[in-house]
């Protein structure tokens, strides 16, 4: 399987705290993306980081990529109850096929 | 929002019956994908298409076939549904940009 794995599987934090989730993958990639999924809905794109980038920011999101360890992390700062969702990483190593991880379920407690 | 519509959104079918799920897009994206989502497995790629009549297998293609006769439509067919194919199916499209766009999902139960 080309799937990545997110860690932890589930995360529960208080509103205002930071949430960090990790993604590990298996083969060399072109880029890595993070997606969010609210319960019962489709996935929504959050951010993309290319294989030659080490860190990227978008609003309250910070993504890092370590290609030597084949891992990425997503940091959500100052979390809000509305951030409650599942988060998935997606890797692209072929140029046109995207493989998703198993997801981290984040619960932000008001 | 890439204008992706999946139908049906919910279906219950019996083991051994054929089932077709439809994905319709309005954005003229070249690539289209079918994924299934199951607890503990995340999303797994079933089949994808890189153009009209051009399709290829993903990592869990056994028991599934696809067809794309028009740019806007990508059909997923379960020739003879089994209980192991009970899942949520997502269609997605990609326009060579940074973003994959997803439909809202089709919930399939095989009894």
What's the CATH number where A94 sits?
2.60.40.10
Mean pLDDT taken over chain A: 93
Best residue of B23, B43, B88, B102 to probe chain A, by most A CBs closer than 10 Å: B43
- Name the minimum distance, in Å, from the CA of B9 to any CA of chain A: 11
- Residues A1-15 pLDDT 10s: 566 788 899 999 999
| Segments forming the whole domain that contains residue B53 | 4-110
Residue A51, classified by CB atoms within 10 Å of its CB into exposed (0-12), middle (13-18) or buried (19+), is middle
Inter-chain CB proximity B42 and A44 less than 8 Å: no
A29 falls within a domain: yes
Q: Which of A4-8, A31-35, B10-14, B16-20 has the lowest mean pLDDT?
A: A4-8
- Residues B78-103 pLDDT 10s: 999 999 999 999 999 998 887 899 99
A78 falls within a domain: yes
Rounded to an integer, what distance in angstroms lies between the CA atom of residue A105 and that of residue A87?
A: 6
Compare CB distances from A103 to B42, B101, B105 and report the shortest one's residue: B42
C-alpha dist (Å) from residue A74 to A6, A32, B30: 10, 11, 29
Residue B73, classified by CB atoms within 10 Å of its CB into exposed (0-12), middle (13-18) or buried (19+), is middle
Joined together, the tokens standing for residue A21 give 């989730």
Joined together, the tokens standing for residue A102 give 């198993």
Inter-chain CB proximity B105 and A103 less than 8 Å: no
Compare CB distances from A42 to B44, B94, B103 and report the shortest one's residue: B103
Joined together, the tokens standing for residue A87 give 């988060």
pLDDT band at A27 (very low <50, low <70, confident <90, very high): confident
**pLDDT at residue B1 tops 60:** no
Residues of A in Cβ contact (< 8 Å) with B100: 33, 35, 43, 45, 90, 98
Neighbouring CB atoms inside 10 A of A95's CB total 8
Provide the 3-class DSSP secondary structure of residue B85.
helix
Residues from A contacting B (CB-CB < 8 Å) are 1-3, 6, 31, 33, 35, 40-45, 48, 88, 90, 96-103
Inter-chain CB proximity B105 and A102 less than 8 Å: no
| Segments forming the whole domain that contains residue A13 | 5-105
Residues of B in Cβ contact (< 8 Å) with A38: none
pLDDT of residue B2: 62
pLDDT of residue B95: 85
Number of domains in chain B: 1
Rounded to an integer, what distance in angstroms lies between the CA atom of residue B15 and that of residue B85?
A: 10
Q: Tokens 């049906």 — which residue?
A: B8
Inter-chain CB proximity B42 and A97 less than 8 Å: no
Q: What value does the mean pLDDT take over residues B45-62?
A: 95
Provide the 3-class DSSP secondary structure of residue B83.
helix
Number of domains in chain A: 1
Neighbouring CB atoms inside 10 A of A39's CB total 8
The beta strands (E) that lie in chain B are given as: 4-7, 10-13, 19-25, 31-38, 42-51, 54-57, 64-70, 73-78, 87-94, 100-102, 106-110
A110 falls within a domain: no
- Residues A95-110 pLDDT 10s: 788 999 889 999 999 9
The contacts of residue B100 (CB under 8 Å, 6+ apart) are A33, A35, A43, A45, A90, A98, B33, B92, B93, B94
CATH number for B51: 2.60.40.10
Residues of A in Cβ contact (< 8 Å) with B92: 43, 98
């Amino acid at each position: 399987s080309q799937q990545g794995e997110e860690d932890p599987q589930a995360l529960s934090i208080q509103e205002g705290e930071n949430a960090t989730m990790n993604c590990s993958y298996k083969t060399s990639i072109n880029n890595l993306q993070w997606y969010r999924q609210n319960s019962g809905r489709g996935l929504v794109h959050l951010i993309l980081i290319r294989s030659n980038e080490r860190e990227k920011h978008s609003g309250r999101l910070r993504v890092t990529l370590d290609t030597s360890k084949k891992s990425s992390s997503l940091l959500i700062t100052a979390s809000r109850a509305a951030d409650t969702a599942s988060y998935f990483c997606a890797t692209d190593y072929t140029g046109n096929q995207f493989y998703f991880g198993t997801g981290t379920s984040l619960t932000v407690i008001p | 929002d890439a204008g992706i519509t999946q139908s049906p959104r919910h279906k219950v079918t019996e083991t051994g019956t054929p089932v077709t799920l439809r994905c319709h897009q309005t954005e003229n994206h070249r690539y289209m994908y079918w994924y299934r989502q199951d607890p503990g497995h995340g999303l797994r790629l079933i089949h994808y298409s890189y153009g009209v009549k051009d399709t290829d297998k993903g990592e869990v293609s056994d028991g599934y076939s696809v067809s794309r006769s028009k740019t806007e439509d990508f059909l997923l067919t379960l020739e003879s549904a089994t209980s192991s194919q009970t899942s949520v199916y997502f269609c997605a499209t990609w326009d060579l940009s940074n973003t994959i766009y997803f439909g809202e999902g089709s919930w399939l139960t095989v009894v």
